[in-house]
Amino acid sequence: MHPIAHAQTRPDHPAIIMAPSGETVTFGQMDDYANRFAQLLRSRGLKRGDHFAVLMENNSHYLQVVWGSQRAGTMMVPISTRLTAPEICYILKDANAKFLLTTRKFADVIEGIRGDCADLPLLIVGGEGDEDYDAALAAQPAEPIADQAPGQYMLYSSGTTGRPKGVKPAPPADEDIQAVNPLVGLAVMGAGMPADGSMVYLSPAPLYHAAPLGWCTTAQRLGGTVVVMEKFDPELALATIEQHRVTDSQWVPTHFVRMLKLDPELRTRYDLSSHKRALHAAAPCPVPIKREMIEWWGPIINEYYAGSEGIGMTLIKAEDWLDHPGSVGKAIHGTLHVCNPDGEEVPAGQDGLLFFENENIPTYHNDPDKTREAMHPKGWMTLGDIGHLDPDGYLYLTDRKSHMIISGGVNIYPQEIENLLVTHDKVMDAAVIGAPCPDFGEKVVAVIQPMDMEAAGDALEAELRDFLAPSLSKIKMPKQFDFRPQLPREANGKLYKRELRDEYLAKAEIETEQA
């Protein structure tokens, strides 16, 4: 189960299709590319364990680069396309990247990188001279390198609570580059993905994130075709399922919300009958949203909880979710523990910090303090989430520990409020944060992206308060509602709450100085 094998048996079968352009890469072409890229890495002096970075939009190169690195034993560092030049340079330096692969799309950012990382070699798709990636790749032979070894990637946290940290994975368990990947077993046995090469897998999210990288490469290990959306668009996603007869897919809750907010005529226009399995993760899905999606797509929607650290995973299928609404399932990888602040396990129904027990525990690159903070005395690791188990062993997530608001000594979890707000038909997106308050320490602030910005104002605030009142106690009710046309959200659904909190903190400091 590896693209090398599929290139030998089905070289003309599509491995990648870009949507909506239709650009197609076969398994045979991808095999040649991966060998050339591995040769390029060696020609640039990169040995096993050396790092290089990738800053690219979703394009046909991305997954092929992953497979080339996987043959060279190198550590690929995917970089978010949302970052500024100083943020990118921080990662490049922290990772000790030997070079950066990028495209002309990031011309403005590249100039900033040249200034702060003057000695770092650049390879640019569509570049010129020594930076011409296309020419450098074409100059390499398409034969396998002599010292093939399994490569990995080091993902950096989104930096929602501070500087991003690199998640350095444990060393590969097997030296064979074609060894079965653990995610393959989870995909086939847990999610029910087909292993006969019939899969057509849709990836609507940025490829620099853990889930798209993991599931796309797993689909290709299974001989499936990966349809990569160049950029998510709710109607285009539905049209792509119809056009390419997509069988499998992976989403985040914000994708669901945006598709459900489409005009009903658009939602029902497309034939989705080929679609057999839909995975979703990245954030807990509001119960009404998940229920409406199951009513629309049928019981094909499976949810999992995991993280870039790869320390564990839970999974719940649609049928089980309907019996346990709001749950993210039972552990299928790693052993789950729910602990109080003293590290003692708590009984079912009681919230606590979630830890996974696993044989393979990663570390945070260049940050032993963060690694130590994430560890339980018994060697378990946490992703920083709060939750509880029910008597049947199903996990329910409450919120991120770092997102908790403490107002008047009361702990408030924003996720509960956000999940209610996004179900309102006039709300496209919502973020709830704690802002400084002289009386209570923090106050609850709801930052709303309305469906129609012209509707923003006192009347909509009053409507939202009335909408929330039956479900929220007074202490949880937002003290302030603000409206804006866009929230700082990653394309993978990750909300940059740090940016909002920093903004409101700065406002509070200015107001204090002026008082």
pLDDT at 459 over 60: yes
3-state secondary structure of 269: coil
Say which residues have a Cβ less than 8 Å from residue 513's Cβ, sequence separation at least 6.
Answer: none
CATH of the domain at 414: 3.30.300.30
Residue 46 falls within a domain, yes or no? yes
For the stretch 304-334, pLDDT in tens is: 999 989 899 999 999 999 999 999 999 999 9
Cα separation, 415 vs 286, whole angstroms: 9
Secondary structure letter of residue 187 according to DSSP: I
Give the residue numbers spanning the domain of 410: 405-514
Residue with tokens 């209610």: 420
Residue 500 falls within a domain, yes or no? yes
Residue 148 falls within a domain, yes or no? yes
What is the phi-psi region of residue 365: left when phi exceeds 0, alpha when psi lies from -120 to 50, beta otherwise?
beta
CATH of the domain at 104: 3.40.50.12780
Residue 21 falls within a domain, yes or no? no
231: how many CB neighbours lie within 10 A of its CB? 12
Residue 398 falls within a domain, yes or no? no
Domain endpoint, select from 117, 149, 179: 179
Residue 205 falls within a domain, yes or no? no
Contacts 24+ apart (CB under 8 A), 84-91: 84/109, 84/112, 85/109, 85/111, 85/112, 85/113, 85/115, 85/116, 86/112, 86/116, 87/159, 87/164, 88/55, 88/112, 88/113, 89/113, 89/116, 89/117, 90/163, 90/164, 91/53, 91/156, 91/164, 91/166
Residue 105 falls within a domain, yes or no? yes
Higher pLDDT, 181 or 247: 247
Helix (H) / strand (E) containing 313: strand 313-316
Domain endpoint, select from 150, 179, 208: 179
pLDDT at site 515: 62
Domain endpoint, select from 179, 201, 236: 179
Q: What's the whole-number mean pLDDT along residues 48-53?
A: 97
Q: Is the peptide bond before 478 cis (omega within 30 degrees of 0)?
A: no
Residue 238 falls within a domain, yes or no? no
Helices (H), 124-175: 133-138
pTM over 0.85: yes
What is the number of domains present in the chain?
2
For the stretch 2-50, pLDDT in tens is: 999 999 999 999 999 999 999 999 999 999 999 999 999 999 999 999 9
Helix (H) / strand (E) containing 429: strand 427-437
- Percentage above 70 pLDDT, the chain: 98
